[in-house]
Amino acid sequence: MTAEPVPLRPVRPRWRETLGLLVRNKVALGAALVLLAIIVVAVFDRAFAPQSANAQDIADRLQAPSWSHPFGTDNLGRDILSRVIIGASVSLKVGFLSVGLALVVGTLLGLLAGYYGGWVDDVLMRLMDMLFAFPAVLLAIAILAIRGPGTSNTIIAIAVVYVPIFARVTRASVLGVREEVYVRASRSVGASDFRLLTRHVLPNAAPPIIVQTSVSLAFAVLAEAALSFLGLGTQPPNPSWGLMLAEGREFIGLAWWLAFFPGMAIVVTVLCFNLLGDGLRDVLDPRQRTLMAGGGR
């Protein structure tokens, strides 16, 4: 008697399974939703800001939070809520562009170093070690001292700081992937290095890079705030969270809200990036992924 075939469960695409596991992580999901809201506000800042960022009203200077000014006003009568909202676009633009630039350059260097090894690995990694030897903020300050302050130069400075981090993470991941059976099999049938790198090595080395990107975004926002606080980043009258902290420190005993609200914006944004990074690490780590998937059955 022939046994009836057992119907197989349809294989879910990997991205759908990853998204499903991430949604089940309530902390990471909450952080992602808050970040999404912050990004939407930053992109459509002019629509959400009740006033212009630089609209002055000396008669209302240093007003405490109220219905007309929920975050209060600064020493020039400018609405703090409007400046926090418009400053979000500046701070997040610097964070995303600098990390994006570092991601592209660092990942490319790490791919080449990890895949080819030998003298290519030695030269590229020694160069990365030279950059990595400098404290991050001091290296960014040195670059800005040479190029001059400003938003564009801040993006370049932060990107240079994070290139070695992405290069090292990518190299370490590639070293574990390049000798896998599927890579050697593809190489044995004549696949080009470009095809191996783009179709096999990079996709399977991507999880640690994705997690590092989320963590780096958090520190990039902090770095931009630190550089603007020191007067090397965004220049007045354009608002950014770090610059608003620098302006508010002079009135901290008289008007606490000047520094409190931009400071809280930095705290919430950085915390959400870190929580999302933790969630992505759990979801993309094969061991944690197996435990999470098994716990849901």
Q: Rounded to whole angstroms, what are the CA distances from 254 to 70, 74, 183, 250, 257? A: 17, 11, 64, 9, 9
Q: Is the pLDDT of residue 191 over 90?
A: no
Angstrom distance (rounded) from CA 221 to CA 175:
30
E runs forming strands in the chain: none
* Nearest-10 Cα torsion for 12, 13, 16, 21: 60
pLDDT in tens, 68-102: 889 989 888 899 999 999 999 989 999 999 999 99
Structure confidence by residue, pLDDT tens digits, 121-174: 899 999 999 988 888 888 899 999 898 888 899 999 999 999 999 999 999 988
Q: Determine the pLDDT at residue 176.
A: 82
Whole-model pTM: value is 0.84
Q: pLDDT averaged over the chain?
A: 84
Six-digit token string for 180: 């896998």
pLDDT of 296 reads 47
Range scoring the smallest mean pLDDT among 2-6, 58-62, 90-94, 104-108: 2-6
pLDDT digit string, tens, across residues 204-231:
888 889 889 988 999 999 999 999 998 8
Q: Which domains does the chain have, with CATH numbers?
A: 25-288 (1.10.3720.10)
| CB 27, CB 279: distance < 8 Å | yes
Q: What is the dihedral of CA 103, 105, 107, 109, to 10 degrees?
A: -160
pLDDT band at 1 (very low <50, low <70, confident <90, very high): very low
Report the percent of the chain where pLDDT is more than 90. Answer: 35
Does 277 have pLDDT greater than 80? yes
Residues 6+ apart with CB under 8 A from 84: 71, 239, 241, 244, 261, 262, 265
Which value, in Å, is the radius of gyration of the alpha carbons in the chain? Answer: 24
Q: What is the pLDDT of residue 170?
A: 92
